[in-house]
Amino acid sequence: MLAALGWGAVAAASLLLGTLLALGRRWSPGLVGGVLAFGAGALISSVSFELAGAGLEVGGPVAVAVGVAAGALAFFFADRAVERIGGRNGAGTGGLPLALGALLDGIPEQAVLGIGLATGEGISIALLVAVFVSNLPEAIGSASDMRQAGTAKRRILALWSAVAVVCVLATVGGHALAGVVSGDLKAGIDGFAAGALLVMLVDQMVPEARDKAGNRAGLATVLGFAVAAALSNLA
């Protein structure tokens, strides 16, 4: 259990690191866009190799497909709720969709880390690297947008600290429940994270990266994918 807590904290630390980097200096829109594009590429790699691919290895395609659909719907409706809250308050959502995406994909991703530890598979270095590399741009992009929208630094740090704590607890929860998690359920968890990520990427992260970084976004995305894929396969 202590190992799950420790490794979960390592993975979630990138969320706080990205937040502190965003709050420590003013980031130009072009730089934020480039960071988001790099992160989008890393997340596409994560979906391909560490989530959908891993899910198909431990469970059936139906379990993965159901998980993908559930994750996609969860992000879609949660994102609409965030937009409605922002509209009622007379303010933009200012980076909240990226924080929501980090939460909805972070919980199942880190639960899988905990399950692997408890079942004797050890820590998946590939997944750990993918989580760490992709978390940084999400946190930087979201915290920068929230700061630009006028949100107090204290509130931004509190939000991302809460997301990080929930993700750490998900690792511990995965470790605790590993004994009752079947292969199909683990595949569904992987699929849920993949589905939430894909909707967030298409609806939020990629359009914002393109808007801020212009035609450099595509190159940065490919670079992020290549780096994450290489690290994943090396691990």
Q: pTM for the complete prediction?
A: 0.80
Three-state SS string over 71-111 comes to HHHHHHHHHHHHHHHHHHCCCCCCCHHHHHHHHHHHHHHHH
Kindly give the confidence (pLDDT) of every residue in the chain, 235 residues in length, as a single tens digit, with 9 standing for 90 and above.
777 788 888 888 989 999 999 998 888 889 989 988 998 898 898 888 878 887 888 888 999 999 999 999 998 998 888 777 654 444 445 677 778 888 887 888 788 778 777 776 666 666 677 677 778 888 888 888 888 888 889 999 999 999 999 989 988 888 887 777 788 888 898 899 889 889 989 988 899 899 999 999 999 999 999 988 887 776 5
- Lookup: tokens for 136: 């940084």
Exposure on the CB side of residue 72, measured as CA atoms within 13 A: 13
